[in-house]
Structure 1
């Protein structure tokens, strides 16, 4: 019996010294539409567009085909700055939904307009009002910033007009993909480079754009709450932690994000 007990103890000891098996969770995959691309720049030379990091592709940031309950006709682009999404309205009650970065509280545009200008790798120039009110930030860019990989408008821009006049409201790409889903710009709508390229290619001049009001957003999207990371989610969505909503139905909390003066200044 003593030998049997000894052999059992030795067997357990050897098993404990044997190699242990560990499992590693697979790395998140980046969908094909968000993989790296090569695009022709403004001078015809190739510009590399990096893949979007998987960490930025949250459920609300990834483009996806969804049911659409708004009143807008197919072919309309609908921007909801409060839910931080853009809809490309399709037939049969559906839409392609994209995550976007939006303007900080108190900036932006509301109502309807049309896309009257489309530009690939556009130039950017601050307005005279921007230079006058914040010369320490914008005076250095008074001569404009040429289109290219470092331009805050990114790879494409759609220019919104109303009654034949430029509203200075743009739907455009960004050199800061980490901002998508957050409120960090001065008023325009930013998209991942890959998303704005594909939207640009299928959007015709004259396309109607509707930018929702807070009341319209509340009625169609429901109440939103901002997460500690600076994203917004519906109030019934589970999150690890959340900020307390302010008085009223639309969250106005903003998150401080470090971006260049040019990027934060785009109107």
Structure 2
């Protein structure tokens, strides 16, 4: 027979057991997600242009593709001249003392790459875009902006963006440009119809630094896995 004392003792033990803190449950630690690196101030929104230029969002552009001062890869090239390496996705503006200002670019896709030596004949702010007839033949949606129809006015949505620099060989237009309007997610990739595309902030910066008539050298691409053309 259970005594009253034993019954009370058992009840007290049960109460203490019910109130005791349970043993901690072991869970796998969730690693903290590092925030994307900050975007340099030069890539903020621009409001002093005829049309707004949006800021580059964080985490979209590889930091190595942002504008930066570097050693010149071709010290023999004259200050003010331009070198483009499509495989590295870099454009260098040569400076004094063996230095260069390096910009990230996107370049021509499979079958649309261009290389050679040219002259930057002239440059334009918020240029008119007139697709060549062969582009219109490939992409009929551009017919409203054909040469016959007078092209597309400058502004948002224009494939040349805020600035364009026109490349000539032997006095003739190559139809290739160094221009803005590169969507940040495509910077560093081969997606254009041969033109050298920059972020609008960089195209504006380059425009202010170079003069008509400077030498432009575009190296040949050694890659064979280029993407399909977008423009």
TM-score, length-scaled by structure 2: 0.79
Post-superposition shift, 1:138? 2.8
Equivalent residue in structure 2 for 1:156, among 127, 152, 163:
163
- In 1, distance between residues paired with 2:228 and 2:171? 36
Q: Give the structure 1 partner of residue 224 of structure 2.
A: 252
Partner deviation per Cα, 1:163-196 (whole Å, 9 max, x = no partner): 2111111000015222111111110000001001
Equivalent residue in structure 2 for 1:28, among 31, 37, 40:
37
Equivalent residue in structure 1 for 2:140, among 129, 136, 142:
136
Residue 64 (structure 2) pairs with residue 92 (structure 1) = no
Query: How many residues were matched structurally?
Result: 209
Give RMSD over aligned pairs: 2.8
Contact persistence 1:77–1:88 (CA under 8 A) = yes
Structure with more contact order per residue of length (Cα contacts < 8 Å, sep ≥ 6)? 2
Q: Give the structure 1 partner of residue 194 of structure 2.
A: 187
Q: Give the structure 1 partner of residue 129 of structure 2.
A: 124
Say if 1:175 and 1:108 are closer, same or farther in 2 by CA, change over 3 A: closer
TM-score, length-scaled by structure 1: 0.69
Say if 1:167 and 1:95 are closer, same or farther in 2 by CA, change over 3 A: same
Contact persistence 1:108–1:169 (CA under 8 A) = no
Contact persistence 1:150–1:175 (CA under 8 A) = no
Say if 1:165 and 1:255 are closer, same or farther in 2 by CA, change over 3 A: closer
Say if 1:82 and 1:28 are closer, same or farther in 2 by CA, change over 3 A: closer
